[in-house]
């Protein structure tokens, strides 16, 4: 692809600075639509199993597509979906450490990691560790945003960032059945127009984890 991988564009400062907030949100939307098609519009459903920023490729106009289907698996309702562990550390759903049964929620977890990475400009390993602790530090949303670009000042960008980070955190739920489906995620990204009633600078990650700003469905 013309613009190479999302990982490349986030790793190189000059490229990252070209990715304003609306462009980053559109990349997230594009990735969600690809996964929605694979999970909900293919028969049988396809699980990618390695959703990472390296495998999200960008066209010249920053349209996102997924590459590397070497670990992909077709899901079947009448046979076992058990398999050997596959994927990239840091993006693999935690249940795969003890359960080798593949579901679409494995990809949902990876999508959540990639979404946070797109907004933060780096892998969210430390954030994921902190939000998993009930007594973890209070982290403000504005403090996790990629510092290489200006903080959002347009209301639309603020609303979009709150929505995508809320979705990403829901995708990282330790219980796979509590994660939203990719269809639900796509619907939220495409059709949600709830006004942002909170002051952006005062929004914490804790509020987004608890969905105090936006409530995300789990179907």
Question: Could you read off the pLDDT of 143-197 as tens digits, one per residue?
Answer: 999 999 999 999 999 999 999 999 999 999 999 999 999 999 999 999 988 888 8
Q: For residue 40, is it within any domain?
A: yes
Q: For residue 124, is it within any domain?
A: yes
Domain count, the chain: 1
CA distance 207 to 29: 23
Structural domain including 49 reads: 6-68+89-209
Q: For residue 217, is it within any domain?
A: no
CA distance 209 to 165: 9
Q: For residue 30, is it within any domain?
A: yes
Q: For residue 82, is it within any domain?
A: no
- Continuous H helices in the chain: 6-11, 13-18, 21-40, 104-120, 125-131, 141-144, 155-171, 182-191, 205-209
Q: For residue 150, is it within any domain?
A: yes
What's the whole-model pTM score? 0.92
| pLDDT tens readout for residues 18-67 | 999 999 999 999 999 999 999 999 999 999 999 999 999 999 999 999 99
44: CATH: 1.10.510.10
| pLDDT tens readout for residues 80-107 | 545 556 679 999 999 887 776 889 999 9
Q: For residue 80, is it within any domain?
A: no
Residues recognised as catalytic = 50
Q: For residue 77, is it within any domain?
A: no
């Amino acid at each position: 692809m013309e613009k190479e991988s999302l990982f490349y564009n986030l790793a190189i400062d000059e490229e990252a600075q070209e990715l304003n907030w609306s462009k980053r949100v559109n990349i997230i939307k594009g990735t969600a639509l690809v996964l929605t098609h694979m999970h909900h519009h293919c028969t049988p459903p396809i699980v990618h199993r390695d959703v990472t920023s390296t495998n999200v490729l960008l066209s010249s106009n920053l349209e996102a597509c997924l590459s590397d289907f070497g670990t992909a698996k077709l899901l079947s309702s009448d046979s076992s979906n058990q398999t050997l562990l596959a994927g990239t550390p840091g993006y693999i759903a935690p249940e795969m450490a003890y359960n080798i049964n593949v579901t679409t929620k494995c990809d949902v977890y990876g999508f959540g990691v990639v979404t946070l990475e797109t907004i933060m400009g780096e892998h969210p390993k430390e954030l994921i560790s902190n939000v998993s602790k009930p007594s973890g530090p209070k982290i403000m949303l504005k403090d996790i945003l990629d510092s290489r670009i200006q903080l959002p000042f347009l209301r639309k960008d603020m609303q979009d960032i709150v929505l995508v980070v809320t979705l990403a955190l829901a995708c990282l739920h330790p219980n796979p059945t509590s994660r939203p489906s990719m269809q639900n995620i796509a619907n939220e990204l495409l059709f949600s127009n709830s006004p942002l009633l909170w002051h952006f600078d005062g929004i914490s990650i804790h509020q987004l984890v608890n969905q105090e700003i936006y409530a995300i469905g789990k179907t």
